[in-house]
Amino acid sequence: MPMTDMDRVRLEIGDNEAPMHFADDEIWEKINQFGGNWLSAAADLCFSWARYILTHWRDFSIGRFSESGAVAAAAALNEKGKELQQKVAMSSIGTYVGGISVSDRTSKENDSDRTPSTFRRGYMDNPDSGWSR
């Protein structure tokens, strides 16, 4: 069975074991809020989860036993949120290779505001022409 965007979000933020922190409706709402971009939704949910931890978890100690980690857990979720934001930013960057598209070349050649080309094939074929470094 293929993964849904909600499954991807849960897997990415580590909310895939019972008991789940976020309800399914909360995740779908975040995905819709970000226009279907599940990575952006996952990043935002990481930040929300970190805020929840800082406001609801309490460190405690009983005798020699102490339990802490709210700050560390929130920091880890904030770091994961930043990592996901970087993935979102990198996914929007496309690779462009100039000169391989006929329509790109034609539109650039027909651009009236374009400066004329100064380098062309055969430009440096005659080293005795007086051009030197």
- Does pLDDT of 68 surpass 90? no
- Does pLDDT of 64 surpass 90? no
Contacts of 131 (CB under 8 A, 6+ apart): 124
pLDDT of 104: 79
CA–CA distance, 106 with 103 (Å, rounded to integer): 5
* Residue ranges of domains in the chain: 5-91
Assign 87 a pLDDT band (cuts: 50, 70, 90).
Answer: very high
- Does pLDDT of 131 surpass 60? no
Region 91-97: mean pLDDT is: 74
Q: Is the pTM of this model over 0.75?
A: no
pLDDT tens for each residue of 6-20 = 999 999 999 988 888
CA–CA distance, 127 with 125 (Å, rounded to integer): 6
Q: Which residue has the higher pLDDT, 18 or 93?
A: 18
pLDDT tens for each residue of 25-39 = 999 999 999 999 999
